[in-house]
Chain A
């Protein structure tokens, strides 16, 4: 619809309408680093909150046939620092702390005595690549039952022999496909993949799958600045798939 408008009236309307758009210009203010740091940190927190709300404990990640699994030699060794922290596999124990009835040291044989699951699942790296691998281990939930963990606690923290550390939300830890993994491709974990024990969760990104586990802690409180090696540098804490 074309109107006939007095020139000044048209300009006046334009100015009035421009004012209404001013809030959009506020977006441009976030080009300033001091503001944008806060904005994107809040954005990631919101995304993590949405991801946690979206997470369906009963929904399984896709699994694959043996023919879809990449050859073992094509499964990358992705160390952040060292590929072998020199774990003493003979005398290794897993320390269990926090909100559990039976804290203490657990041997690998005690973990291997629990329900064993083999699964071919997709390992997705935050960088964008992914590989389908074959993993074997016990569900984290089985182990938490063994140690009498309070599964209504909010978080699981792990510390690793290579000084890596991670924390995950309890619903993800209790997911039926979330494993304490001690085998890949039917063989005991090798040193490059985190021997003797690592996390393996097809509902989480690769950086959440901590290797060389030494300590597991059940807790309701995460320590600020110690939520995860990469998360403390800016990666999403939830890291869910």
Chain B
């Protein structure tokens, strides 16, 4: 994956001094509404075809980062450059074009699929919306996407309830793949899955990267998962990057107290599991 020379090319994703402040409901009539600084100046770059892991606990800013990179929200300061374009200054039409390069996979495959829509409708939706593809093309590309994630095109006419949790997450990944995106933002993609199913989905995500050169921004609270999948890791704490590096270094010799605390809390370490 890390072909020599790739590091010198333009990074796919450049995040610069990204900050986001949310305003909370006013507590008193006469005082200013309080706010929470969800992200406070985060910068990193991500090369095409690589995987960057984002670890941290609830409230660290992981999901806010995902929403800003996906341009689902506007930052309070800083910017996101994706494939050479500043995402947050694009016009609506430009944004729509840029969106097909960016897809997202969510944590809960039970919540992220509409139970009343067939797999075909769900998987092909990004194509219909972003490219205005014909019915025949939608069906063909949806079949290909299902094939890539190890499901059958016969599954296109089924509904989500006919699938197990692992299969649903494959459907969600197929939906993300259908626009042939350069970047997939995966927010805790395996946290809701059983151990043996989790292994299947992680293997699949790595295969897809080898096959299509997809880039992952991989958000997880599970350090072992990030260690397995990612080339580089950033540790977020209270909206800031407190540590950054290759997982083998970062997890072997954590420098920041928070990273050390995260590592010490991994269950089963005492038993050397």
Tell me whether A and B are bound partners.
no
Give A contacts to B, CB under 8 Å. none
